[in-house]
Structure formats: C-alpha cells, structure tokens
Amino acid sequence: MTDTLTPVLTRNWGTDRSWTLDAYRAQGGYAGLKQALTMSPKAVTDLVKDAGLRGRGGAGFPTGLKWSFVPQDNPNPKYLVVNGDESEPGTCKDIPLMMASPHTLVEGVIISAYAINAHTAFIYIRGEVAHPIRRVRAAVREAYAAGLLGANILGSGYDLELIVHAGAGAYICGEETALLNSLAGLRGQPRLRPPFPAVAGLYASPTVINNVESIATVPSILAYGKDWFQSMGTEKSKGFTIYSLSGHVARPGQYEAPLGITMRELLELAGGVRAGHTLKFFTPGGSSTPILTAADLDVTLDYEGLAAKGTMLGTKAMQIFDETVSVVRTTRRWVDFYKHESCGKCTPCREGTWWLAQILARLEAGEGEPGDVDKLVSVASSIGGRSFCPLADGAVACVTSAVKHFREEFEVGYTTPAWEHLPYAQSTLFAKEVRP
C-alpha cells in the first residue's frame, strides 16, 4: 500500500485561493478542531499518542508523548511553540505548506495548544521567507475574526492567543532551545538541557515545541481517527509525510506519501532522474543526513529504514544529484553553509567548520595537498559527536559520507580543479544554453 500518494496535508494545495479560510472550510477544514473541543485535553493528547504521530522536524520523537511530558501541575503558563524555521538546504515542506494552506497549521495549533492546556502559542517562522509569514499572519487574522482564536473559541470556553514571530535569519534557531532563546529576545544559541523545554522552556515555563508539519498533521488525526492514520506507514513509522524532491529529478516538488515508501518508488513518482542521466548520490533528509548512492535506492524512507543505512529520515528532503555533479563542490557548498550558520557557541563547530571549509576550498580548486582528504576526515571526526548541539554532526555528515563513497574524486582535488574534472555547466538544468 506504499505505492500511492496519500495527499492529506497537500490535498487542497491546488484549489483556488487555498490559503483562505473559506477555501479551507470548503474542503472540511476545522472539523478536527470541532472534534477536539468535544474531548478533554488529555483525551486529545492520548489520541495523538496512540495514533503514533512522530515529529516531522527530523528527530522523530513521538508527538503525543512530548505533550504528555508537560507538567500540568506547574503553576506557570504552558506554551506551544511551532518551529517554522525551515532553513536546511534541500528542505522545503513547511514553507510550501504555510504558503498553500496556513489554516491547516492554525487548526493544528489550536488543537495542540488545547491538548497541553496552553493559552498562548507561537509560530516561529524563518525570517527570510516573507511570503509565508504574510500568509500565516493573514490566516491568523481570519481565524481571530471567525472566533477560532482569542477568547472562548467556538463557544467552548477555551481561550488561545496565537503570535506569529519572524526569526532573524539563523539556521541554528531551528534547534529548539536556540529557537526559544531567540523567541525570548536572547541570543539565538542552544542552551543546556536539562532543564528540558517541557519543564522550563519559553520564559522558563513548560513549553512544547513541534515542527510545522507535525502540528499540521494533528487536525487530520482528529478528523479521521487514529485507525485511519495508522492504516498508513510502517509499524514504527505511522502515517504519511511530505517528501520534498529537488535537484536532478524530472518533476521536483513535494510528494505526500506514507512513511516507508522506498526511494525507488518515490523517484519513479517524480519521473526519475532527469532524462539521459543516472543517479550519483542523494540526501535522504536534507544536507545534514549522510548521503546515499544509487545502491541504496530500495531503502525504505522511514525512521528505521534510514537509520539502518547509517543515515536519517531528517526532514525528508531528497536532493537528487546525477553523474555530472562534483561531490567535492557539493560538499564544499554545504560546509560553507554550516560554517556560515554555526552559532559559534562551542569549539568544534565554530573552529572545525572554519577549517573544513578551507580544506574543501583547496580541494575544489585543485590545490589540495596530499593528505588533505585524510585530514578532512580527521577534522570531521574531531567535530562529530563533540559539539553542543547536533548542528555540527549535520555539518560533518556530508563530509564523511561523501568521502566514504567518493574518496577518489576528492583526491582528484590534489591536482585538478573540480570545475575541470566535472564541468559545472553540465550539472545545471539549463546546461544547453551555456554549452559551447
């Protein structure tokens, strides 16, 4: 049953003015909320827990379980914070969702906040993406006007304020504690756990932080039930999710499918690698996940299947690279990104990415020194597993996996620039225009 698309979150993306309240309601929107408000908060939490929804932001932590960690006897207010700081190279699911159907998210926020007894919720959106921010803010305004937010929601007696916050442009603020710091007006750097956000998160109060897609999935569980949700996916990875395919694929875009679909099936759904070319490597879950090659096409795209391959489901962002692509160049670009986005708090990430970037720049330019590839791997191993937060692990994942699969290509960098070894024009989609 994993061979078909299962549009739930993406179902209304193609409808006319899908981002409006009217359009969302016309296709059954806010039914989940009405259902939730007939239940007790605990019952909502239990339903989501039983359904088996796992976090769609990368780590795959069970969402309902996270909610149940909120100490309800804590006298401080409870907060729900939605992580919309989608910034990872290749990842493109939350932003289109917020663009196309912001009310799915808003409905999810109301239900989730209700479940944890929060009366204030925040949606933290990556600052660079002005359009989705406007769409979500407009949806929130509509929801307030329709009595879906504010005091006494739909006559239920439940109150919720929802604040849409634009970040200031930092990848690290997708890390939940850095996000909370940023939201509170502090420096966007991760902080120590414990205390965990569930106990002392935003303003030192119990806080649940969930990814946009996780929260957006909640209304459908309320509307259609846990059995429906569990009918999709695998034993441990229940339900459906949005896979984003980009790069050298015939039809790039968002594909919503049950967890457990294989990469081969997904690639076929997207029309395969661009015509006349073959797959060289791909990321399974964004640039932070170790890359895989054509040999791994039958991997099931769920939490367990990818873990078995030594990589991760991550944000389910498949970047597809064909044989024209220089893996050295790709790795260099990724590492430059992590160097730029390192928050600077801990030594390995701050200093290590600075060093990796310089070695990779040399190798790309064909100016590498013998031993540089070993040094690259060695420096990467100095960083991995030693950093304060997982950003650095993500930063070196591409380096170690790329060298593991394509060591010779890196060694070419001792003598030959990557742009001579694999001319970059060949890998652009519009290569014909620049070919001589």
Partner 1 sequence: MSDDMVTLSIDGLEVSVPKGTHLIRAAEAAGIAIPRFCDHPLLDPVGACRQCLVEITDAGNGRGFPKPQPSCTTEAANGMVALTGASSAAARQAQADILELLLINHPLDCPVCDKGGECPLQNQALADGRGETRFTDVKRTYPTPTPVSELILLDRERCVLCTRCTRFADQIAGDPTLALVERGAKQQVGIYPDEPFHSYFSGNVVQICPVGALTSADYRFSARPFDLVSTATTCENCASGCQLRVDARHFEVKRRYAGEAPDINEEWSCDRGRFGFVSARGEDRLTRPLVRRGGELQPVTWPEALAAAVAGLTPALGSTGVLTGGRLTLETAYAYSTFARKVLRTHNIDFRSRLASDEEAAFLAAYVVGRPDVTYADLDRAARVVLVAFEPEEESPAVFLRLRKAVRKGGLKIATIAPYRSRGAAKLGAELLPAGPADVVNALAGLTADENTILLVGERLAATPGGYSALAGLLGRTGARLAWIPRRAGEIGALVAGCLPGLLPGARPVDDPEARAEVAKVWGELPAVDGLDVTAMIAAAASGRLRALVTSGIEAADFADPALVAAALKTAFVVSLETRLSQVAAAADVVLPVDLLEQQVGTFLNWEHRTGAVNQVVDHPRLPMTEVRVLAALAAALGTPLGFATPEAARAGLLTLPRYEGERASMLRIEPETALPSGVVLASWRELLDDSRLLDGAGHLVATAPPAVARISPQTRRTEGLATSTFVRLTGPKGSVTFPLVVTPTMVDDVIWVPARARDKLLADIGVDVGGAVTLSAAPDPKKEGEE
Among 37, 170, 257, 402, binds partner 1 (CB under 8 A): 170
Quick one: CA dihedral 61, 291, 304, 297, positive or negative? positive
* 347 lies in the site for partner 1, by CB under 8 A: yes
Q: How many residues line the site for partner 1 (CB under 8 A)?
A: 33
Angle, in degrees to the nearest 10, between helices 347-364 and 391-412: 20
Site for partner 1 in 361-380 (CB under 8 A): 362, 369, 375
Of 193 and 435, nearer to partner 1 (C-beta) is 193
Among 345, 363, 403, 411, binds partner 1 (CB under 8 A): 345
Site for partner 1 in 70-99 (CB under 8 A): none
What are the residues whose beta carbons fall under 8 Å from the beta carbon of 19, sequence distance 6 or more?
99, 100, 101, 102, 103, 135, 138, 139
* 113 lies in the site for partner 1, by CB under 8 A: no
| Distance from C-alpha of 29 to C-alpha of 213, rounded to nearest angstrom | 16
| Distance from C-alpha of 308 to C-alpha of 293, rounded to nearest angstrom | 15
* Segment contacting partner 1 by CB under 8 A, of 76-84, 108-116, 338-346, 412-420: 338-346
Sheet containing strand 79-84, edge to edge, reads 161-166, 120-125, 79-84, 207-211
| Distance from C-alpha of 322 to C-alpha of 330, rounded to nearest angstrom | 12
Among 340, 420, 428, 435, binds partner 1 (CB under 8 A): 340
* Segment contacting partner 1 by CB under 8 A, of 133-141, 148-156, 220-228, 352-360: 352-360
Is the CB of residue 282 less than 8 Å from the CB of residue 243? no
Q: How far is CA 325 from CA 277, 294, 434, in A?
A: 11, 14, 16
Among 33, 216, 359, 376, binds partner 1 (CB under 8 A): 359
Among 34, 119, 350, 421, binds partner 1 (CB under 8 A): 350
Q: What 3-state class would DSSP assign to 207?
A: strand
Write down the least CB distance from residue 334 to partner 1, Å.
Answer: 15
Write down the least CB distance from residue 180 to partner 1, Å.
Answer: 16
- DSSP codes, 43-62: HHHHHHHHHT-B-SSSS--B
* 355 lies in the site for partner 1, by CB under 8 A: yes
Of 5 and 199, nearer to partner 1 (C-beta) is 199
Quick one: CA dihedral 230, 236, 241, 245, positive or negative? negative
- Strand 292-293 and strand 279-283: the pairing is antiparallel
Of 93 and 345, nearer to partner 1 (C-beta) is 345
Among 38, 40, 358, 415, binds partner 1 (CB under 8 A): 358
Write down the least CB distance from residue 177 to partner 1, Å.
Answer: 12
Write down the least CB distance from residue 297 to partner 1, Å.
Answer: 29
Of 225 and 310, nearer to partner 1 (C-beta) is 310
Among 383, 403, 418, 422, binds partner 1 (CB under 8 A): 383
Strand partners, 281: 293, 321
For 415-418, the CB contacts below 8 A with 24+ separation are 415/366, 416/366, 417/364, 417/365, 417/366, 418/326, 418/328, 418/329, 418/363, 418/364, 418/365, 418/366
Write down the least CB distance from residue 382 to partner 1, Å.
Answer: 4
| Distance from C-alpha of 402 to C-alpha of 9, rounded to nearest angstrom | 33
What are the residues whose beta carbons fall under 8 Å from the beta carbon of 330, sequence distance 6 or more?
321, 398, 402
* 275 lies in the site for partner 1, by CB under 8 A: no
- Biggest CA–CA distance in the chain, Å, is 72
* 159 lies in the site for partner 1, by CB under 8 A: no
* 248 lies in the site for partner 1, by CB under 8 A: no
Site for partner 1 in 282-321 (CB under 8 A): none
* 354 lies in the site for partner 1, by CB under 8 A: yes
* 394 lies in the site for partner 1, by CB under 8 A: no
Is the CB of residue 414 less than 8 Å from the CB of residue 372? yes
Among 151, 278, 385, 428, binds partner 1 (CB under 8 A): 385
What residues make contact with partner 1 under the rule CB under 8 A?
A: 170, 172, 187-188, 192, 339-348, 350-355, 358-359, 362, 369, 375, 381-383, 385-388
